[in-house]
Structure 1
């Protein structure tokens, strides 16, 4: 078998066969969270279609930037890919403000396909006695009581931005409790170690059915069919920026066009297939497929919106 070698960040030679060796799919979050769950299905289905192993590599840390940066600096030969969400690709960079950036979400990557959008919900542990968003507002506005511990998944995450957004809009007294990912945050929330948190519906679903977690608010514009009685943040006058979370796949920007085209074709089919639909359809999710220029335009718009939000948050704190 001919070796596939090239300098980091440079494309493989056009004449080299692809895929000729295993592919690594980097997930920049711990195992068990929604991005990891989606990514593992994509890896399994992609391996079957390409005829080579596709191995999931969880590289968590720094709100996803460790894993994303690793892919940005990898060889652009189609053997190292990224499966990530809005927080890791966009939110983490927007939160850095004017500080040096470990990667550029637009320039360093070629979007292979955004596959699914997920609604984020504000949850309360049953022990709090909070059964509605109005009750939460009353408790978090009560300055005679300690701040409400609010679980987040790091700077730039939707859960973190929800603290800023809700706190600023309603004048709430909240205490951020950071976690390395959604799965550990929800585990502590379900155990009652933290009172309130914002997390994707699919991760919290089992705890809702058991009664340990109660939905208070959908962070978004539309109510969820699964939670028809839970209001949205838009109903309370909060409409921008859009905090819907997407999950999708990326390759280093210099990856050869034929490889990108093949991967986009396969990912579109995977996103429509039964295996992916079984884990991603419903449950607060909406199946999509955005790739190429369409996905790039979305990244640019969301990055601009997040940066504007973070500037306003900094000005408010100042």
Structure 2
């Protein structure tokens, strides 16, 4: 072997040895020169909430897999619409991503389509949905309502309507109970609140009869005997409440008010970058770090991407728009 050839051989061999510890990262390296700088990961909700918590773990995992920092940026306001709109108008170069949930991407469009000024199907490419969350319908213990069957009986025969709290027009707390009222002919009175905390506080205090809340928010009051779980709003029972049925079991299939969280890129993001992001997200969503924050307490890790995710978005948009139209026109539930 000549001196030149030997030197070239040693250079190549040394490069291979250096690359070995980074094999996991390089296996997920994007085509071309992407990414060559930090990636912005826009969360349209405040820091500390569920979407932010899920997003920060996913962002950290993606940073390791892609070899560049993935920086979480909270752009809040208008029930998530401000952050969503910002990403919709960003360059489709793979350096600005969106981490929405059902409310910010689907609920907004159905409730106020003109005001939000974005289209979840035309303005975005889904990288993947990575967690499903179900809320629970609770009763104040002093009402004596022990299960959903008792609620149905009480709400149909009561001289006065039972009161339920809602955290805003178009929210899951409003629409899911409206869905139950229409389906079963329940006599209910809506009481609006400016957030989950005051709603749950009044529910615990007995100022309202029933209300919807995340399991972690109400779990302490359930343990103390102040709240009673009646129904899981979703398609699967919660391990924490194995005896509590779902609205799906009661024959209510659409709209599905399960709340998902996911990752999206602006429309027209190059296909090779989308493919690489999906590959990386698949790994991140199955990581032990993510399972620790996304499993239990009403949450369930999933991974839906490509056409599966797009089909779910189309179905949810269609079913919620039809539901809204039925309410506005006063059409009786089927």
Match runs of 1:106-255 below 5 Å: 106-126=121-141, 128-138=143-153, 140-141=155-156, 144-145=159-160, 148-152=163-167, 154-169=168-183, 170-179=185-194, 195-255=209-269
How many angstroms apart in 1 are the aligned matches of 2:104 and 2:60? Answer: 22
Change over 3 Å in CA distance of 1:57–1:127 after alignment to 2: farther
1:140–1:174 Cα contact (<8 Å) kept: no
How many angstroms apart in 2 are the aligned matches of 1:225 and 1:256? Answer: 40
Alignment match, 1:25: 41
1:147–1:174 Cα contact (<8 Å) kept: yes
Alignment match, 1:4: none
2:34–2:273 Cα contact (<8 Å) kept: no
1:78–1:255 Cα contact (<8 Å) kept: yes
Change over 3 Å in CA distance of 1:188–1:257 after alignment to 2: farther
1:109–1:250 Cα contact (<8 Å) kept: yes
Equivalent residue of 1:114, what SS?
strand
2:222–2:228 Cα contact (<8 Å) kept: yes
Alignment match, 2:104: 88
Alignment match, 2:279: 265
Change over 3 Å in CA distance of 1:268–1:221 after alignment to 2: closer
Q: Runs of 5+ in structure 1 lacking a partner?
A: 1-13
- Provide the aligned length of Structure 1 versus Structure 2: 301
Tell which structure's C-alpha radius of gyration is larger: 2
How many angstroms apart in 2 are the aligned matches of 1:205 and 1:50? Answer: 38
Instruction: Provide the TM-score with structure 1 as the length reference.
Output: 0.81
Alignment match, 1:67: 83
Q: Out of 285-294 and 267-276, give the one that drifted further.
A: 285-294
Change over 3 Å in CA distance of 1:66–1:317 after alignment to 2: farther
1:122–1:218 Cα contact (<8 Å) kept: yes
Change over 3 Å in CA distance of 1:301–1:146 after alignment to 2: closer
Alignment match, 1:11: none
CA-to-aligned-CA distance 1:202-222 (integer Å, 9 cap, x gap): 444454345443311112344
CA-to-aligned-CA distance 1:256-288 (integer Å, 9 cap, x gap): 223222221111101110011111123333322
Q: Does 2:88 correspond to 1:46?
A: no
Which of 85, 103, 106 is equivalent to 2:118? 103
Instruction: Provide the TM-score with structure 2 as the length reference.
Output: 0.78
Equivalent residue of 1:231, what SS?
coil
1:166–1:172 Cα contact (<8 Å) kept: no
2:108–2:116 Cα contact (<8 Å) kept: no
Change over 3 Å in CA distance of 1:121–1:143 after alignment to 2: same
Measured after TM superposition, the shift of residue 17 of structure 1 is 4.1
Measured after TM superposition, the shift of residue 44 of structure 1 is 2.2
Change over 3 Å in CA distance of 1:143–1:125 after alignment to 2: closer
2:165–2:199 Cα contact (<8 Å) kept: no
How many angstroms apart in 2 are the aligned matches of 1:187 and 1:19? Answer: 48
Q: Runs of 5+ in structure 2 lacking a partner?
A: 1-30
Measured after TM superposition, the shift of residue 156 of structure 1 is 3.2
